Amino acid sequence: MAQTHLAVVTGASTGIGRELARLAVADGCDVIVAADEPEIEEAAQSLRASGGSARAVRADLSTASGVEQLWQEIGDRPVDYMMANAGRGLGDAFLDQEWDRIEEVIHLNVTGTTAVVQRAARDMARRGQGRILITGSLAGNLPGSYQAVYNATKAYVDTLSWGIREELKDSGVTVTCLLPGPVETEFFHRADMEDTPVGESGSKEDPADVARRGFEAMKAGRSGVSGSFMTRIQNAVSGIVPESVLARLHRGMAKPEEQSNG
């Protein structure tokens, strides 16, 4: 009898990560969900209530000890699907941001994501099979006025995904980059961006729809998947419009309303 696939989802307490975990359970996987907040326990309980096998790990994946804590929970069992979704946003003007919050964003989005993906990919490559989904962002293609550090970290994540995918070609391991635009999650509240045009917009995507596209692309081994039609248009335009113009456009989306009107 074949062993049930194991899916690991980081940043799974809410939003896209939680929806990815639900999809993995519906697909028959055993699931380990991780996040650095108490809601991760409730997320795992909800998954178990739906009939799935789910374990929660509360760990700070921006640290080496947090990554090690996650792998202690994984143990010797091979990871079939690694969904590196954990990330943190940060709005406001670069000069007004507190350094400790800048560090948190860089350590989780860049260092933590890289550590988790490398550890999973090494084991998958040894076995000759595995699927990795990395949650990047359309923001990685845009100069992020009033969201500069976050956008820079997502530029790193996006390019990391494509680079690793090429290295692992023909290894039996695939890497898929999920590139959503604005999504209706806790992101804007946690990033202090609720009073921005993009934070107040009613046109943000449903996290369940975004997660479904990402999960299906990962299982199919595709290289990447963008969001809605408008997001795909924005993604295409970012390759031909000068960065100075894109930065000005981003300012109009991400600058807090009070500063915009001041």
Please report the pLDDT score of residue 257 as a whole number. 55
> How far is 152 from 145, CA to CA, in rounded Å?
10
Residue 137: pLDDT above 80?
yes
CA distances from 73 to 31, 57, 67, 221 (A): 11, 7, 10, 26
pLDDT confidence bin for 3, thresholds 50/70/90: confident
d(CA 196, CA 256): 5
More confident residue, 55 or 194: 55
Overall average pLDDT of the 133-162 stretch: 89
For residue 1, give the nearest of 33, 31, 28, 32 by alpha carbon: 28
pLDDT of res. 199: 46
Instruction: Give the dihedral sign, CA 146/149/154/159.
Output: positive
- pLDDT in the model for residue 244: 45
What average pLDDT score do residues 219-225 get? Answer: 92
pLDDT tens digit string along 87-120? 998 888 899 999 999 999 999 999 999 999 999 9
What pLDDT digit, counting tens, does each position of 30-47 carry? 999 999 999 999 999 999
